[in-house]
Structure 1
Amino acid sequence: MADTATGTAFVAFERVQKSYDGESLVVKDLNLDMPKGEFLTMLGPSGSGKTTCLMMLAGFETATHGEIKLDGKPINNIPPHKRGIGMVFQNYALFPHMTVAENLAFPLEVRKIGKSEREQKVKRALDMVQMGAFGGRRPAQMSGGQQQRIALARALVFEPELVLMDEPLGALDKQLRESLQFEITNLAHELGITVVYVTHDQTEALTMSDRVAVFDDGRIQQLAPPDELYERPQNSFVAQFIGENNTLEGRVTQISGDACVVQLDNGEEIDATPVNVSGVGDRTLVSIRPERVEIDPQLGPDAHTLKAEVKEFIYMGDTFRTRLSVAGNDNFIVKTRNRADQVRLRPGQHVTIGWLPRDCRALDA
């Protein structure tokens, strides 16, 4: 799967493969185009190939087959330090024996930039990440969040057009991680830099990215803006991996254009949008997001309704989470907003649930 913008791509992977043992491929025939200024996240479980792609782009790994281009030029044979790419890692990778200012000056010295220009660039990069007063400190004298800001400043100090980030917020606590997510995204857009960001945290991917490439088994399963990925997953893997998702198993009994009928394994029939099924008789996993389902629905005549039994009713502050048994699935979740008139449900209670057919997708089994 590839973006079609070839020719205008700032970063391009063309039929890239990677194998460590000469037999099994960690990355399989990857085609990916990125325009300049895009914030693209590579998302996927461990071993899906996302970090290997980042390392090939950085130059720390070599592609077994295919070509990687930066601004139209092949970079497969260019060593990492000559690619002009900024890098931010999870473990900060700061030199402990150097002050913050010396850490930032190091990539500038390597590039033979004169002392006064170095000082200006270091000051500007520290101000960018709100760390102007920390130039004289050593990394050990700072918190994890401060060190990660310094690592970010060091990646930006020589004004690269491309910055690669490998799980940069993985070691930080939730609140700090969330505030840095916004800072990094805003900074990237302000400076107009292109960012390739690797994470296995889907919330991070959805909140930070212009587009997300979902990896599994060495391939991109879907490449799309965050809302499209969540609302319109193209296969069962993406539907299950991005956000929370309910599934019901069944078989396709009718297809007509952008609608189909699925007979669930308990014999009930429901309407769905066919997405990744090839024909009548196919096994399918029907996918519905928890927030698209209503209990005692008021959705009008088009809604699809099923009977359900309450298994658990959980108070979560701003939402209620109800676990139901529906058509053979005992882990069917419904999320509802915490409203003053919310009826508290009890385990064992029988309810009717409903959703609109457009919110229900028939995917590969």
Structure 2
Amino acid sequence: MRDQVLPTDAPALSAKDVVKRFGSAPVLDRVDLSVGRGEIVVLVGESGAGKTTLLRLFNRMISVDEGEVCVGGQNVHALNPVQLRRSIGYVQQDGGLIPHWTVLRNTALVPRLRKMASPDDLASVALQLVGLPPDEFGARRPGELSGGQRQRVALARALAAEPEIILLDEPFRALDAITRAELVEAVHVLLQDIGVTTLMVTHDIRTALEIANRVAVLRGGRFEQIAPAAVLRSSPESPYVQQLLHRAGEGTAA
């Protein structure tokens, strides 16, 4: 989306008074969130808290029931959903790679769909960014890669079309502890270096504290606290946030 520069006077992402229901019960209950340009915000909470639901409202994978969801100051429901999804990088929980395609072809998918010039070159640059030299990995298929390498390819695919915004849905969940730690560090450095606006979902508050500029803690469809990582760690505003920190070895019990 570098060719569709976001307005400088509007948040990159915003949700205002958002309600989303599945059945009669709200999964999101009057939620407000604003993500600035170049900011890394991580949504953290237990299963069923509404994290992935909120994330997927921004690329219209699902629709809001009440309230307003905006990208670059524009209501997403006023935007073409296909163009919107192609303009925002998105990494699914399982990576979503096409198994019979090569790494290079997987990575070049969105540039090709957007009819961008030199999609393979864009894919090669993205693979290099995530630490997978295209000369070594480009011709491989996903089944020939480790779990961590597959997630790097998924991230490269999200970055290949040079979006201003990426959405990451539990990108480290299926990885072993050592691979996860290595990839968390690599992704943190990469996101800081390229300055892309990032909204990420995780159930692991330690990962959130390592990567985020701000951490947003969801519980039962409502935010318990939204704060810079250092502030959240030192000044939890609710017993629930304090409990999450304590269980992760990041704080003291209430």
The TM-score, its normalising length taken from structure 1, stands at 0.63
- In 1, the alpha carbon distance for the partners of 2:105 and 2:10 equals 37
- In 1, the alpha carbon distance for the partners of 2:22 and 2:80 equals 19
- Corresponding residue number in structure 1 for 2:47: 46
- In 2, the alpha carbon distance for the partners of 1:97 and 1:226 equals 40
- Corresponding residue number in structure 2 for 1:137: 140
User: Residue 59 of structure 1 contacts residue 79 of structure 1 at CA under 8 Å; is this kept in 2?
Assistant: no
Superposed counterparts of 1:274-313, under 5 Å: 289=252
State the shift of 1:113 in Å: 2.0
- Corresponding residue number in structure 1 for 2:167: 164
- Corresponding residue number in structure 1 for 2:194: 191
- In 2, the alpha carbon distance for the partners of 1:141 and 1:210 equals 34
- In 1, the alpha carbon distance for the partners of 2:238 and 2:109 equals 46
Aligned-residue sequence identity (percent) comes to 35
- Corresponding residue number in structure 2 for 1:95: 98
State the shift of 1:80 in Å: 4.1
* Secondary structure of residue in 1 paired with 2:54: helix
Q: Which has the higher contact order (CA 8 A, sep 6+)?
A: 2
- In 1, the alpha carbon distance for the partners of 2:49 and 2:100 equals 36
- The structure-2 alpha-carbon separation of the partners of 1:245 and 1:172, relative to structure 1 and needing over 3 Å to count, comes to closer
User: Residue 12 of structure 2 contacts residue 165 of structure 2 at CA under 8 Å; is this kept in 1?
Assistant: no
Q: Give CA-to-partner distance per residue, 1:241-290, whole Å, 9 cap, x none.
A: 223499xxxxxxxxxxxxxxxxxxxxxxxxxxxxxxxxxxxxxxxxx827
Q: What residue identity is the alignment partner of 1:19?
A: R
User: Residue 59 of structure 1 contacts residue 78 of structure 1 at CA under 8 Å; is this kept in 2?
Assistant: no
Q: What residue identity is the alignment partner of 2:14?
A: A
- Corresponding residue number in structure 2 for 1:205: 208
- In 2, the alpha carbon distance for the partners of 1:19 and 1:154 equals 31
- Corresponding residue number in structure 1 for 2:3: none
Larger Rg over CA atoms: 1
Which of the pair is proportionally richer in helix? Answer: 2
The TM-score, its normalising length taken from structure 2, stands at 0.90
State the shift of 1:32 in Å: 1.0
State the shift of 1:227 in Å: 1.8
Superposed counterparts of 1:222-301, under 5 Å: 222-244=225-247, 289=252
User: Residue 39 of structure 1 contacts residue 209 of structure 1 at CA under 8 Å; is this kept in 2?
Assistant: yes
Q: CA RMSD in A?
A: 1.7
Q: What residue identity is the alignment partner of 2:11?
A: A
After the TM superposition, list the runs of 4 or more consecutive aligned residues in structure 1 that deviate by more than 4 angstroms.
Answer: none
- Corresponding residue number in structure 2 for 1:71: 72
- In 1, the alpha carbon distance for the partners of 2:116 and 2:231 equals 44
- In 1, the alpha carbon distance for the partners of 2:171 and 2:248 equals 27
Which of the pair is proportionally richer in strand? Answer: 1
- Corresponding residue number in structure 2 for 1:58: 59
- The structure-2 alpha-carbon separation of the partners of 1:34 and 1:205, relative to structure 1 and needing over 3 Å to count, comes to same
- Corresponding residue number in structure 2 for 1:319: none
Q: Which runs of 5 or more residues in structure 2 are unaligned?
A: 1-8
State the shift of 1:186 in Å: 1.1
Q: Which runs of 5 or more residues in structure 1 are unaligned?
A: 1-6, 247-287, 291-360
* Secondary structure of residue in 2 paired with 1:181: helix
Q: What residue identity is the alignment partner of 2:128?
A: D
State the shift of 1:77 in Å: 4.4
Corresponding position: 1:17 with 2:8: no
* Secondary structure of residue in 2 paired with 1:168: coil
- Corresponding residue number in structure 1 for 2:121: 120
- In 2, the alpha carbon distance for the partners of 1:169 and 1:88 equals 10
User: Residue 38 of structure 2 contacts residue 198 of structure 2 at CA under 8 Å; is this kept in 1?
Assistant: yes
- In 2, the alpha carbon distance for the partners of 1:47 and 1:145 equals 26
- Corresponding residue number in structure 2 for 1:151: 154
- Corresponding residue number in structure 1 for 2:32: 31
* Secondary structure of residue in 2 paired with 1:177: helix
- In 2, the alpha carbon distance for the partners of 1:103 and 1:166 equals 18
State the shift of 1:8 in Å: 4.0
- In 1, the alpha carbon distance for the partners of 2:130 and 2:224 equals 34
